[in-house]
Amino acid sequence: MLQVNSIGVNQTIIGTGNKEIFFSYKTPVAICEDGVIYKTEKKFSKTTSKHINNFIKHVGINIIKEKSQEFFNSLLD
């Protein structure tokens, strides 16, 4: 089942089974999957960085790894 949750202005989580994909504005920049948070290695604005940190706090997981922005863009294909 697909779940859409807003955790702040321009901050959205789309849940799909065991994954939570985090969007800052309309761009996917992080995902929580199987107890690990993967965040984009691309540097965006200060605001997007704050949004990613807010997502990390919201999920409450300390295992954080980076992936390319291309990986996150491919989630929308």
pLDDT digits 0-9 by tens, 32-74? 999 999 999 999 999 999 999 999 999 998 899 999 999 999 9
Dist CA 45 CA 10 (whole Å): 13
Query: Is position 75 within any domain?
Result: no
Average pLDDT over residues 2-17: 94
> How many residues can be counted in the chain?
77
pTM to 2 decimals?
0.93
Query: Is position 31 within any domain?
Result: yes
H or E segment to which residue 53 belongs: helix 46-59
Query: Is position 30 within any domain?
Result: yes
Residue 48's CB: how many other CB atoms inside 10 A?
A: 18
Average pLDDT over residues 12-18: 92
The 3-state DSSP class for residue 6 equals strand
Query: Is position 73 within any domain?
Result: no
Query: Is position 24 within any domain?
Result: yes
Structure tokens that stand for 21 in this block: 């994909």
Query: Is position 77 within any domain?
Result: no
Count up the domains in the chain and report the number. 1
Query: Is position 20 within any domain?
Result: yes
Helix, strand and coil percent figures for the chain, each rounded to 5: 25, 45, 30
Domain range for 46 is: 2-68
Average pLDDT over residues 11-40: 95
